[in-house]
Structure 1
């Protein structure tokens, strides 16, 4: 029998522990000798990134046991951390290890083998970082991007394309590292042409971000293995190449957006460029991490692609992009294919991301990995509805609405549910309609969630993405408020019980909203940006990759300093419209705790209710099960105290004023 109870007070089998256990992230899917390999984050193991592959029986087997952590710090978001290469001694796994950031080599088929370092031990801990690993043409070297800390500031970073001998000679002699070159301040890993005569990579410089403008570079390989002067084949200040692969010794395939949409192009060494299937669809995505793949060749002019998150087949002969009919609406940027079989990570409204194999010849879909044991019954999982709202400037604002969902409870007649606006990070990111057990933790208790793709989000073309140019803290705030207010006007949400939550750039929008609009009663601000001036190269409170990001989002620095101050929540603590909860990792190098510390210091004694929880050992975003559990319980208690319901089953969060 369905019980009638106030929204927010429903009991649920989705506890904080279950949500934390399901919080692992799937990443870096690949194929080697017909076997699928992938990495996954494990909250129960302190957030360690484990490397797995298909075993002989088709079941997942762990390649590296703890404490090996297959992850790196390049750009602080990391890049492709492993590759299997054919060395003169046979196949070997090369990978980056989080603790020391060195590159290791091991025979993955020898259970008794111990990984051995092939990169130098830097003078300072994690002073060298490596990512986007590939093999040299002869298999004697691992090619990659190397980040080197050159000073004490977070922006004191140099990057080079380097070659590490698989012999391990560089592990004890830094001089054995072969520097291939450095065309730009930021670069992807180098890839050799099929004949080994050329090497290609992507590069870009401050103040551009990789979705603003990148260049596809190519250089000839000299007889001594060094690289000649590079040429730019595609890309530029207002064109961003986000993935490339060699097709032949004379041509490359590249995802780039000269017409405003990431489409697949053939690029020749002679300078020719041709769009294989022009369309107003995004085949590609923002290059937050090095090594994502949104297309893979199938042969005969056909390509598997991820278009607007859906799996599709691009046929250059007909110039078409045709969706593949599957039950999984979201496919990720880990696409690989062989012999007409596509492998990738994919997810749905009631299924978390899993590695799947799809045979395009017969449509047979096989799950390589299963769903978490802790995954709750589907009847407790919200099915998102895609909506398109109208922003205050008349622009469309896509969003996904996750309604309160439980087979056991319903709200009282006449009562509307509280709703939380969930703001994605980036801000050059996007929300997608997949299961998020952390959101289900709230919806199964009678709290609705709406996830907003505000102006600046990816997936809708460059024009939509650039709506946020110099408008961060304005367009994102207004779009989110417009969606929340529309749900209230429709009678879907209780307009007096609206909240906002977000992490990183989403934390910025949550804090900026709480200090500039009156839409929300409260906000959850996680590992946020709060002071724009500090989040610049001069301010020294963020890492090199994003140290000039705000120049495009807000305006040139320091010329627009007044605008930086005007929009920063740290400058408007007295304008807060309601209580705030702040959650912060203490080892965060992207949004260090300095800004949250100062914000809370200004709040203390202000009369505004607030709470501040910090977590040892956490970087940007929470990876550890115990952190995720504590954060969710605090957030639920916070909403209950502010929005007027008794949150069952969680400790009461102490709020101070």
Structure 2
């Protein structure tokens, strides 16, 4: 029999999950692909300056990093980056083309060759932020890689063009921009990388234009490829305003498949390249597709013989194998409840990145012949006793007007401690970014960092979140700062009414769009005792007028309304314009190299706060050099978590042992 848990004040429970442990497990594998018999992917390295390395798993199962520090296999196409590498078997084994984040150039490397140093394939540019590349694929000739070229034409974040381009593998374009051959014109503001037919005679890609975001509507473009490697007869097959094609590619037999949203759900369709006729292969009221935040996301992968591996579900992604001819869909067995939109196939095997409520992201292979699924790389290892992990609860709360609010609830959990009898726990509402995103129900040691100390977490997939259908996502249209704020507050109040949460010890936190929701919540409600705001949007007008990168520069047209028509709406909803209404202390956490939500957003808010009576509420502002949008470095992640816990300790009234004290001051005291 186990001992009776000790009654300890919430927030003070002794936890083996310290900030360094949580931070060292931040990030997950991504960008899977095969080079011959080898599996390759990118992996995070928080302790190495936050870079992403390229990992190879040899045919014998051994793993190694193919590129040492400081090589960083990322790019900044569309701000968030696109698929950063491709590979094939060459004369000396693998031949890999990749993008390096430091200079955004394409490089080629043969790691098993005598001279294995990466060689640049593309030039630098002195204009604006230069040249960027993503989604490389080998051309039919084998002598080029075809990819997305994002080219800056001026100094402003929106001074750029995007085309499909051909880069020679011989390195002749490394110092010569004219050696890069453009495959398309720049008639469309945004394009994704080309997907080629098996016989090399056809190419498809996605395109869209401002003010649409890719989940508002995209076009599936199709072109023929001449023997000389020229794209001809380019035309739109399906899509347009109101129809969002999320992914398209050819099967090994040459059929064209696309995940497109014709109605309330993304479903998988077969598309006739000649007529554009689209047939739904698996009509279901669930998603096979999602918001295209990064070029190269892959929700389905065709297999030989007509089968298709596809992610599907509501509020999460399961991996299934679809047989279109038989009309059957069989899911992979195992403990994984969430699969990332990065699938790779080789023969009859499907490989993906999967996680579950008790396991972090790991690389899983499904053998479609035997039906067996197994972890083949990046296996989850319990960094601490799993008894400290939170136990997730899937809840649906009721918001204003009776609308549903989907929530992952993580009550405080500890194997040897409990809160004082009859006392509700402090809770933090977590607002995810996007806001067209969602929070998956998987093990997150950052959540466990708080729950194992006696602080509950509610991840709120507020109205506007993805993976619950288009109608749910569209709740946020012109309602950002209202629906998201109301939904988070409704969950907080409901938890308090149920006696689970202490109404005097509620907090809200979020990053990026979640930072906006947090800031707006502190201005518009009196629900919260404090808030943690990470790399936020706080001044809508400033953000909409050259205050962010090109991809999201007109995002607010849908989230708030056209600036030219409703300028007062932008002013009224911006937290920076209402500092006097902030009554709860907060901490602001900001990367100084963030091009998406730049530091000026925080600075305007703090300047406004300084004009409030007494300099406003106590707060702290922590900035981090070398960090962009979303933190990647180990020391930054540790400092951020500890600062957040210190804020809660001071506000909720407990001692955070071993955590540096966060100094909170009013603007007048600074």
Give the SS at the match of 2:79.
coil
Q: Are 1:75 and 2:112 an aligned pair? A: no
Aligned to 1:305: 310
Take 1:151 and 1:118, find their aligned partners in 2: how far apart are those partners?
23
Cα separation, partners in 2 of 1:325 and 1:248, compared to 1, 3 Å? closer
SS in 2 for 1:494: strand
Report the Cα distance in structure 2 between the residues aligned to 1:399 and 1:24, rounded to whole angstroms.
22
Give a deviation string over 1:392-436, Cα, whole Å, max 9, x none.
121111110011111121111121110000111000000111011
Q: Which moved more, 1:225-234 or 1:261-270?
A: 225-234
1:387-426 map, 5 Å: 387-426=395-434
1:569 to 566, 571, 575: 575
* Alpha-carbon contact 1:87-1:139 (below 8 Å) kept: no
User: 1:38-53 maps to which residues of 2 (within 5 A)?
Assistant: 38-53=41-56
**1:312-327 mapped onto 2 (5 Å cutoff):** 312-327=320-335
Are the structure 2 counterparts of residues 415 and 541 from structure 1 closer, same or farther at C-alpha, using a change threshold of 3 Å?
A: same
1:553 paired to 2:562: no
Deviation at 1:87, TM superposition (A): 6.1
- Give every structure 1 segment of 4 or more consecutive aligned residues whose post-TM-superposition deviation is greater than 4 Å: 86-91, 371-374
Q: Distance in 2 between matches of 1:370 and 1:232?
A: 40
Find the counterpart in structure 2 of residue 361 from structure 1: 369
Structure 1 counterpart of 2:293 = 288
CA contact (8 A) 1:100 1:125 kept: no
Secondary structure at the aligned position of 1:39 is classed as: strand
How many pairs were matched up?
655
Aligned counterpart for 1:444 among listed residues 443, 449, 452: 452
Which residue is 1:225 aligned to? Answer: 229
Does residue 347 (structure 1) correspond to residue 347 (structure 2)? The answer is: no
Q: Secondary structure at the match of 2:292?
A: coil
Distance 1:13 1:408 in 2: 12
Tell whether 2:579 aligns with 1:585.
Answer: no
Instruction: Show structure 1 runs of 5+ residues with no match.
Output: none
Residue 650 (str. 1) matches residue 670 (str. 2): no
Q: Deviations over 1:446-479 (max 9, x none)?
A: 0000001111111011111111111101111111
Q: In structure 1, what is the Cα distance between the partners aligned to 2:11 and 2:551?
A: 40
Shift of 1:287: 0.6
Distance 1:101 1:300 in 2: 38
Q: Name the TM-score, length of structure 2 as normaliser.
A: 0.95
C-alpha displacement of 1:300: 3.9
Partner of 1:594: 600
Residues 400 and 452 in structure 1, CA contact (< 8 A), matched pair in contact too: yes
**Residue 514 of structure 1 aligns to a residue in which SS?**
helix
Whole-angstrom CA distance in 1 between matches of 2:583 and 2:454: 24
What SS does structure 1 have at the residue aligned with 2:401?
Answer: coil
Alpha-carbon shift at residue 363 of structure 1 (Å): 3.6
Deviation at 1:579, TM superposition (A): 0.9
Matched, 1:498 2:506: yes
After superposition, the Cα gap between the structure-2 partners of 1:76 and 1:493, relative to the gap in structure 1 and judged at 3 Å, is same
1:236-261 deviations in whole A, cap 9, x for unaligned? 10011111111368631000011221
Residue 439 of structure 2: aligned partner: 431
**Cα separation, 2, equivalents of 1:519 and 1:413:** 24
* 1:521 positional shift: 1.0
- In the TM superposition, residue 111 of structure 1 has moved relative to its aligned partner by 6.5
**CA distance in structure 2 between the partners assigned to 1:28 and 1:93 by the alignment:** 13
Name the counterpart of 2:483: 475
How far the C-alpha of 1:50 sits from its partner, in A, is 0.4
2: CA distance between counterparts of 1:63 and 1:411?
Answer: 48
Distance 2:373 2:11 in 1: 38
Judged with a 3 Å threshold, the aligned counterparts in structure 2 of structure 1 residues 282 and 342 are, in CA distance, closer, same or farther, namely same
- Distance, in Å, in 2 between the alignment partners of 1:249 and 1:303 is 12
Give SS of 2:117's match. coil
Alignment counterpart, residue 338 of structure 1, candidates 346, 364, 369:
346
User: What is the distance in 1 between the residues matched to 2:82 and 2:457?
Assistant: 31
**Residue segments in structure 2 that go unaligned for 5+ positions in a row:** none
Of the three residues 593, 599, 603, the one matched with 2:609 is 603
Considering only aligned residues, what root-mean-square deviation do their CA atoms show, in Å? 1.7
Residues in 2 aligned to 1:425 and 1:137: alpha-carbon distance in whole angstroms = 39
In the TM superposition, 1:171-186 aligns within 5 A as: 171-182=174-185, 183-186=187-190
* Equivalent residue in structure 1 for 2:272, among 261, 268, 273: 268
User: How many angstroms apart in 2 are the aligned matches of 1:236 and 1:124?
Assistant: 32
Offset at 1:56?
4.4
Q: Return the alpha-carbon distance in structure 2 between the equivalents of residues 322 and 512 of structure 1.
A: 43
Counterparts of 2:64 and 2:513, CA distance in 1 = 36
TM-score (norm 1): 0.97
**1:216 alignment counterpart:** 220
Q: Which residue of 2 aligns with 1:169?
A: 172
Instruction: Give the conservation status (yes or no) of the 8 Å contact 1:542–1:589.
Output: yes
Most deviating of 315-324 and 606-615? 315-324
